[in-house]
């Protein structure tokens, strides 16, 4: 078994095909980086440096922190044209300024940063999910701190636009796994708090986990790892189209997203890009027409069925075709649902079937063929009248057929 991470498992949960691209095939997507990812990296680096100095007894000014943020943005920039921006209404400068505000808001909310004692930054941890070490999770804790009351706090910085509901935080896997890692490193610690800083809002949210929660987490995570391992063995990685596809770096490779215009005809008779577009559009139009005709046909059938009942007729003539309506009914046991039927009636019916020796014969017939059972089953005729106490007649769906007129 390999060592997994929360992000790796989340990738599989969100889209198995993306997991295959990234972790199995290791597709090279070039040097392009999403602007959201880059901004998150720079914000994390700025806050990391801030607390590194705090741990040394020095508190930066707000101006110093923002200067560092700007310098990191410049020095770590991937290069001209390599920051991928999906939102056409926003520029790189807009994203950069938003990151500055995140750092600035955080500084103003927590200065002079003495609410708790920071004991580790960007701490790499490994979690053993089983005693033999067959299942492991590796991760990086943004900041580890101890509150004034002695509670170990696991801090995580989020730079996404919005904040998730509390119920999702209470089920969050990532920080709960980090709690397990810290517990394994320092078994004497018994108080933990999970802390999320939603820097874009800005808001802080907290949650906690009991021992039972941790045990449940271990079980579910091992189960997920086994699922991933099985998918890898079977090479079974289906696509999962969601709104996250818009930010996926593998979109140009994905079989669910490859655009027709990227395809060219390679041999005589093979469809080119334009023909593919026309063909797909025509197929979609035909499916719409077929669905419309099916709906119209069903409406006509219902009108004929209504007219047949009203007039007491079973055949209607067209110019060269006849439409025939066949009504019918069938028998079925009132208590054929032997699992979910009413308990008293169900018991009586079963007792009757056992008494008459018909139990096996009943189950040898499909429920829709119960009339065949009545005609063909071998049972004492003296029970036939009693059998009909357990049987009801139900109307079948009328059948409409169209045939040629006879000469």
Q: Are 199 and 158 in contact (CB under 8 A)?
A: yes
Distances in whole angstroms, Cα of residue 310 to Cα of each of 301, 321, 398: 14, 21, 14
Residue 148 lies in a domain: no
pLDDT in the model for residue 406: 67
pLDDT of residue 27: 86
Q: Using CA atoms, how far apart are residues 184 and 140, in angstroms rounded to an integer?
A: 15
The reply to whether 219 and 82 lie within a common domain is yes
Tokens of 110: 């927590």
pLDDT at 50: 98
Q: What is the DSSP string of 176-243?
A: HHHHHHHHHH-TT---EEEEEEETTTTEEEEE---HHHHHHHHHHHHHHHHHHHHHHHHT-------G
292 domain residue, yes or no: yes
pLDDT digits (tens), the chain, 407 positions: 689 999 999 999 999 999 999 999 998 877 778 899 999 999 999 999 999 999 999 999 999 999 999 999 999 998 877 888 888 899 999 999 999 999 999 999 999 999 999 999 999 999 999 999 899 999 999 999 999 999 999 999 999 989 999 999 999 999 999 999 999 999 988 899 999 999 999 999 999 999 999 999 999 999 999 999 999 999 999 999 888 888 888 887 888 876 543 554 455 555 666 677 778 888 888 999 999 999 998 999 899 888 888 888 888 888 888 888 888 777 766 755 544 445 566 677 777 777 777 666 665 554 445 666 666 666 666 676 777 777 777 787 888 888 887 64
369 and 266 in a single domain? The answer is no
Predicted pLDDT of residue 156: 98
pLDDT at 392: 77
Crossing angle for the helix pair 62-75 and 92-110, to the nearest 10 degrees? 150
Q: What pLDDT does residue 261 have? A: 39
Residues 208 and 349 in one domain: no
**pLDDT (0 to 100) of residue 9:** 96
306 shares a domain with 337: no
- Of 284, 313, 342, the one marking the end of a domain is 313
Place of tokens 């000469």: 407
Tell whether 248 is covered by a domain: no
Number of structural domains (the chain) is 3
Q: Is 324 among the domain residues?
A: no
240 within a domain of the structure (yes/no): no
Give me the domain span that covers residue 69: 3-117+159-171+198-234
Residue 375 has a pLDDT of: 64
Contact call for residues 156 and 195 (beta carbons, < 8 A): yes
Same domain, 398 and 303: no
Same domain, 297 and 380: no
13 and 57 both lie in a single domain: yes
Q: What is the structure's pLDDT at 110?
A: 97
For residues 243, 247, 249, 251, the Cα torsion angle rounded to the nearest 10 degrees is 40
Specify if 377 maps to a domain.
yes
Question: Within a domain: residue 31?
Answer: yes
Helices and strands, number each (H, E), in the chain: 13, 13
- Residue with structure tokens 């039927």? 341
279 shares a domain with 379: no
> Do 308 and 334 belong together in one domain?
no
- Global confidence as pTM: 0.64
What angle do the packed helices 62-75 and 35-55 form, to 10 degrees? 140
pLDDT score recorded for residue 208: 95
- The continuous run of DSSP H or E covering 317 comes out as strand 315-317
The reply to whether 305 and 344 lie within a common domain is no
Domain boundary among 313, 342, 358: 313
Residue 183, in any domain of the structure: no
Same domain, yes or no: 352 and 203? no
13 and 101 fall within a common domain: yes
Q: Torsion angle of alpha carbons 272, 275, 281, 283, nearest 10°? A: -90
């Amino acid at each position: 078994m390999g060592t997994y991470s929360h992000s790796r498992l989340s990738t599989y949960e969100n889209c198995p095909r993306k997991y295959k691209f990234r972790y199995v095939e290791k597709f090279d997507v070039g040097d392009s980086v999403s602007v959201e990812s880059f901004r998150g990296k720079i914000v994390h680096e700025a806050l990391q440096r801030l607390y590194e100095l705090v741990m040394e007894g020095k508190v930066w000014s707000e101006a110093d922190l923002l200067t560092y943020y700007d310098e990191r943005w410049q020095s770590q920039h991937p290069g001209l044209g390599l920051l991928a921006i999906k939102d056409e209404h926003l520029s790189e400068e807009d994203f950069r300024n938003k990151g500055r505000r995140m750092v600035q808001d955080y500084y103003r909310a927590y200065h002079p940063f003495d609410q708790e004692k920071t004991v580790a930054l960007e701490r790499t941890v490994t979690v053993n999910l089983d005693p033999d070490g067959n299942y492991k999770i590796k991760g990086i804790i943004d900041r580890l701190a101890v509150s004034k009351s002695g509670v170990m706090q696991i801090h995580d910085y989020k730079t996404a636009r919005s904040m998730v509901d509390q119920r999702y935080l209470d089920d969050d896997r990532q920080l709960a796994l980090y709690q397990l890692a810290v517990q394994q490193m320092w078994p004497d610690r018994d108080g933990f708090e999970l802390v999320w800083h939603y820097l874009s809002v800005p808001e802080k949210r907290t949650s906690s986990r009991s021992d039972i929660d941790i045990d449940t987490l271990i079980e579910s995570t091992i189960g997920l790892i086994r699922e991933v391992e099985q998918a890898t063995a079977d090479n079974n990685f289906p696509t999962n189209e969601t709104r996250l596809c818009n930010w996926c770096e593998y979109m140009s490779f994905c079989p669910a997203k490859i655009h027709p215009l990227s395809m060219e005809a390679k041999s005589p008779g093979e469809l080119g890009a334009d023909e593919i577009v026309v063909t797909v559009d025509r197929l979609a139009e035909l499916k719409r027409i077929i669905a419309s005709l099916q709906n119209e046909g069903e409406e006509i059938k219902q009108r004929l069925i209504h007219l047949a009942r009203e007039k007491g007729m079973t055949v209607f003539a067209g110019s060269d075709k006849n439409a025939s309506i066949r009504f019918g009914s069938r028998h079925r046991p009132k208590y054929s649902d032997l699992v979910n039927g009413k308990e008293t009636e169900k018991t009586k019916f079963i007792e009757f079937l056992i008494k008459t020796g018909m139990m096996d014969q009943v189950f040898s017939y499909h429920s829709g063929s119960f009339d065949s059972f009545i005609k063909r089953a071998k049972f004492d005729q003296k029970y036939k009248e009693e059998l009909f106490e357990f049987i009801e007649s139900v109307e079948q769906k009328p059948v409409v057929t169209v045939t040629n007129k006879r000469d």
